[in-house]
Amino acid sequence: MAREKCVLAYSGGMDSTISTVWIQDNYNMDVVTLTVDLGAGPEIVGVKERAASAGAIDSLVWDVRDEFVNEYVFPGLKAGAMYEGVYALSTALGRPLMAKKLVEAARQVGATAVAHGCTGKGNDQVRFDAGIMTLAAHGEPLKIVAPAREWGMTRDEEKMYAAKAGLELREVGDDQRVYSIDRNLWGQAIEGEDLEDTWEAPPEDAFSWTRQISDTPDEPVEVAIGFEKGVPVSIDGTLKSGVELIAILNEIAGEHGVGRIDHVENRLVGIKSREVYETPAAVVLHSALKALETATMSREQQRVKENLSAIYSDMVYDGRWFTELRRNIAAFMESAHEYSTGDVRVRLHKGSCIVVGRRSPFSLYDFDLATYSTTDAFDHEAATGFIDIYSLSARTQSRKQTNSEAR
């Protein structure tokens, strides 16, 4: 009888290569690797070869960058999804799509299990497991294998598995630091090494997308971003696909040192962890869209949106992507952005991204109402009547209950 199959989420790195061997040995299953390209860049090169040398019977590489940007990143942007106000949720937005692709691949190759490389301490295991179980709830149940959560390997065992995969493990004590990095088009998350001391400033070698301030250009650069219904569609008047636009902004803003985040974060599993992120494009696009909203949304829309943003951000972080509530809030965001069409000018300089201009055919900013010149269209007479009624309840209460000017 043929062995059961397991589809493994495969980055091509050391851990996932070791996992390929480990699953064959410990679960007696054939392994099909699935590399989901979310725009992590050169890491994808050579994955098929590495998977084969680790004994995978097949290796799939799926480019899902457009789907990632259009169905996860941009909805997140429109929802103002920023965990704890600073983290653009790059990893957290990628996981549900990876879970979806794992389930799709499993169905395609007739696998009975899927596997991912998450440990038992992070958020990502929750996002994967919850996503997989939710999406697989309709059909045959899928087993979930998580080697790094299960194996408890010693260094010697790790070496043995690496050797089986035709790889050599780095020696401990090498002076080059090895961070734990997760990256996709929307940002990279950097953990480990010296960053585990919250008092230590992040060492320069932790960063690779953004320049340190002393190396950034002395002259600022201005970029105009065009939005249509809350979706960024152009840079300096030239139409771009979402994937292109994000790549370009990562480049330009990174060059000016924009997008470094240093945060002590509340993980879902109860741990606080020191997280360093590089998310240049996300920082620019979030500030730009927020600026556009100040012109195109009413005060009440802005307030309700902000409240829902906080809920939405926690849900994405907590692995609740595939839920009705997440979809409900997304529907509100879609509707709230009906008129978020226009341009925003940002100035990038020495690590800062400052909005210096915004315009929209639907802007609620009315010059004739707002101007300080004497020819304005605002009814000054009506203001006194308005305030009279507006302050009525406060005055009544003061008269009947307070009895004292001092209060």
Which residues does the annotation mark as catalytic?
Answer: 15, 95, 124, 180
Do strands 187-191 and 30-37 pair parallel, antiparallel, or not at all (unpaired)? Answer: unpaired
Instruction: At 15, list the tokens.
Output: 């851990």
Q: How far is the CB of 90 from ligand ARG (least distance, A)?
A: 7
Helix (H, G, I), strand (E, B) or coil at 333: helix
Closest alpha carbon to 33 in 4, 3, 12, 64: 12
Interface residue with ligand ARG among 31, 136, 189, 231 (CB under 6 A) is 189
Q: Which of 160, 181, 233, 355 forms a contact with ligand ARG (CB under 6 A)?
A: 181
Of 81 and 106, the one with the shorter C-beta distance to ligand ARG is 81
The residue within the footprint of ligand ARG, chosen from 30, 129, 191, 278 (CB under 6 A), is: 191
**Which residues 259-278 are close enough to bind ligand ARG by CB under 6 A?**
265, 275
Number of residues that bind ligand ARG (CB under 6 A): 10
From CA 162, how far away is CA 54, in angstroms rounded? Answer: 9
Stretch that binds ligand ARG, among 33-41, 61-69, 178-186, 350-358 (CB under 6 A): 178-186
Comparing CB distances to ligand ARG, the nearer of 182 and 293 is 182
Sheet holding 231-235, edge to edge: 238-239, 231-235, 221-228, 342-349, 352-359
Q: How close are the terminal C-alpha atoms of the chain, in Å?
A: 85
Q: Compute the least distance from the CB of residue 119 to ligand ARG, in Å.
A: 9
Where does this chain touch ligand ARG (CB under 6 A) — which range of 38-46, 174-182, 236-244, 299-307? Answer: 174-182
Nearest residue to 252 (alpha-carbon basis) of 292, 276, 219, 226: 219
Residues 6+ positions from 31 with CB-CB distance below 8 Å: 5, 6, 7, 8, 20, 23, 24, 54, 55, 56, 57, 115
- Residue 125 touching ligand ARG (CB under 6 A): no
Site for ligand ARG in 218-247 (CB under 6 A): none
DSSP states of 87-137: B--HHHHHHHHHHHHHHHHHHHHT-SEEE----SSSSHHHHHHHHHHHHTT
Using CA atoms of 152, 157, 159, 163 in order, give the dihedral in degrees to the nearest 10.
-120
SS3 227: strand
**Residues numbered 41-100 forming contacts with ligand ARG, rule: CB under 6 A:** 91-92
**Choices 32-40, 179-187, 294-302, 348-356; region in contact with ligand ARG by CB under 6 A:** 179-187
Min dist. Cβ of residue 376 to ligand ARG (A): 49
Report in angstroms how near the CB of residue 4 gets to ligand ARG at its nearest.
Answer: 29
Q: Which of 30, 182, 278, 293 binds ligand ARG (CB under 6 A)?
A: 182
Residue 33 or 123: which CB sits closer to ligand ARG? 123
- By beta-carbon proximity to ligand ARG, the closer residue of 117 and 226 is 117
Site of interaction with ligand ARG (CB under 6 A): 91-92, 123, 180-182, 189, 191, 265, 275
